[in-house]
Every structure is written in structure tokens, then in C-alpha cells.
Amino acid sequence: MRREWIHAGLLLAPALVLLFAFTHLPAIQTVIDSFWSTPRGRRPSAFVGLANYERLLADPIFIRAMINNAIYAAITIPVSIALALAMALFVQRRIAGRGFLRMAYFTPTVLPLIAVANIWLFFFLPGFGLLEQLRGFLGLSPRNWIGTPDTALYAIMTVTIWNQAGFFMIFYLAALQTIPESLREAAAIEGTPRWVFFRRVLWPLLMPTTLFLSVNATINAFRMVDHVFVMTQGGPNNASMLLLYYIYEQGFRYWDTAYAATLTVVMVALLALIGIGQFFLMDRRVHYK
């Protein structure tokens, strides 16, 4: 019996070591770091208790980042999922060029985000960007999408939605394939309108996928900040500041590692809460086979 336990331990050891080294230990270290001050080359760190958290609550840029992230999540999650579902329903039927359309929808996901963010930057540029030229044809007023605080965050959101909708579409496509054709035929026989069929049959059956995608989209709403580096750098005046970008700025541009650790603790706690909350909220509605 003991030999089996030893074998089990040895087999689990590599995975456990990696998990501890790269996930649990850094998490614990981060929580500990948030209670100490930042060490500089000439001054070692000192225990400061909750001082970092007090600073966090009084920091207007942190509040701004949280509000921005909330708006960012509130818009990108439903819009990406809705768009993905619409695209999946569209390319699921037998239409000409279906394969090409699927590839076109999925391409944004495979392109590196930093590279496409540079291209989007040129789309948005006032004066001679692509959007400005289209605007010229339509005769609308000029807009500095990235350089105005009202629209900077929405410009960022556009790139995010564009990037992740194709990825989500794949999951919906797979889920749609598993829905038996007999259901559709039965509905056709009974003369059910398409919208009612969607609401009463497709949507509940797709709930497991929707739950999975909403958790994914939530994580992405906090994780995808690559394009902020390229397009707005959190500006103008923190109008498009997002939490993860703020953590990077504090931790790796200002080297204020203690404050960055504090922000990280907040972000991880928030994500855990939202993740668990989503599971509990949608669990009753999810119809597993």
C-alpha cells in the first residue's frame, strides 16, 4: 500500500512542482509582498502592513482603471459572445464560400495582437487613417478616436471584440454540430418560427458553451491589454487605463513592485469572485446532456 502511495507521489511530482513553482508560490509571494514596501537598490523593503491597500483605495488612477475595466467587461463580453453566435449560425448553414468565411472569421484570432494593433492604430489615426478616409466618403465629422478620452476606450474595445469573436465562434460551431438534426426537422414540421426555435431549443442547448465562453471572455477582459501598449498607452490621461496595464506600469516601468503586488492581489481576488459567481449564477440554467 505504501509503495502505491510513493508511486503516486512520484508520478504527480513533476506536475505538482511546476504548478507550485509557477502558480501557487508566486501567488503566495505576491500576497506577502503586498504587505511590505518596495525594495530599491540602496534601501531594503520594510513591513508596512495595510499601507499599500490604503494607498490603493485613495488612488484616483486605480479607481479609473477599475471603472474602465468594468465598462470594458460589460461591453466586450456580451458583444463578443453575441457576435460569435451570430457568425456561427451564419456559417453553419450550407452556403457558398462557407469554408472561406469561417477562415476569414477566425483569422483575427491567429494574428499576433501587437502586430494588428499597430495596423488598427493607423486605421484610427485622425487625418489620414482608414476610418478617416471612409468618413470622408460618408461626409461625417472628423474624430480623433484614440486621442479623445470619450472614445479611446471604445477604440480599444473594438480591437478586442474583433480579435476574440472568431475564437468564440469556433466553440459555438462545434456545439451547433452536436445538436441533432431531428430537433430542427421536428420544429420545421410544427411550423415553429426561427426565432422561437432559437430561444426555446438552441439557446438552452448552447448554454454550456455560453457559460464556458463567458468565463473565457471575462478572463480576456482583464488579460488582453496588449493593444493598449501599442495604441493608447493607457491615455489620454488614463481614459483607457486598464488594471493589468496599470500593474505593468507600476511594476515594470516604475519598479514599484510592492504596489504592483497589491494591485495583483486585488485583480486575482476579483477574477476569482467573478469566476465563481458566474458558475453559481448560470449553473441552474445550464442544461448538460
Partner 1 sequence: MTPHIKTRLLAAAAMFGVAMAPATASAVDLEFYFPVAVGGDAAGIIQRLTDTYMEENPGVNINAIYTGSYADTTTRAITAARGGNPPQLAILLSTDMFALIDEDIILAWDDFVTDEEQESWIGGFYDSFMANSQTGGQTWGIPFQRSTPVMYYNKEAFAEAGLDPETPPATWDELVEMGRQLTVRDASGNVSQWGVRIPSSGFPSWLFTGLVASNGQDGLANNEGTQVMFDTPEVVEALEYLVSLATEHEIMAPGILDWGATPRAFLDGESAIAWTTTGNLTNIRSNATFDFGVAMLPANVRRGAPTGGGNFYLFDGSSEEQLQAAVDFVKWATAPDKAASWSIDTGYVAPRPDTWDTDEMRAYAEEVPGALVARDQLEYAVAELSTYEGPRITQIMNDAIAAAIIGDKTPAQAMADAQREADAVLAAYR
Contacts to partner 1 by CB under 8 A = 40-42, 121-122, 125-128, 139, 141-142, 144, 146-149, 233, 235-238, 249, 252-256
Q: How far is the CB of 113 from partner 1 (least distance, A)?
A: 16
Q: What is the DSSP string of 113-173?
A: HHHHHHHHHHHH-TTTSHHHHHHHHHTPPP--TTTSHHHHHHHHHHHHHHHHHHHHHHHHH
Q: Spell out the long-range contacts of 186-190 with Cβ–Cβ below 8 A and sequence spacing 24 or more.
A: none
What separation in angstroms does the CA of 64 have from each of 150, 187, 259, 268? 13, 49, 16, 18
- Minimum CB distance to partner 1 smaller for 144 or for 192: 144
Give the nearest distance from C-beta 233 to partner 1 in angstroms.
Answer: 6
Question: What is the per-residue DSSP string for 256-271?
Answer: -HHHHHHHHHHHHHHH
Q: Give the nearest distance from C-beta 281 to partner 1 in angstroms.
A: 37
| Cβ nearer to partner 1, comparing 72 with 145 | 145
Least spacing, CB of residue 152 vs partner 1, in Å: 8
Residue 122 Cβ vs partner 1, minimum distance, rounded to whole Å: 8
Distances (CA, A) of 48 to 6, 33, 36, 38: 43, 10, 5, 10
Which is nearer to partner 1, 70 or 140 (by Cβ)?
Answer: 140
Q: Give 41 or 112: the residue with its C-beta nearer to partner 1.
A: 41
Nearer to partner 1, 178 or 237 (CB): 237
Give the gyration radius of the chain's Cα atoms: 24
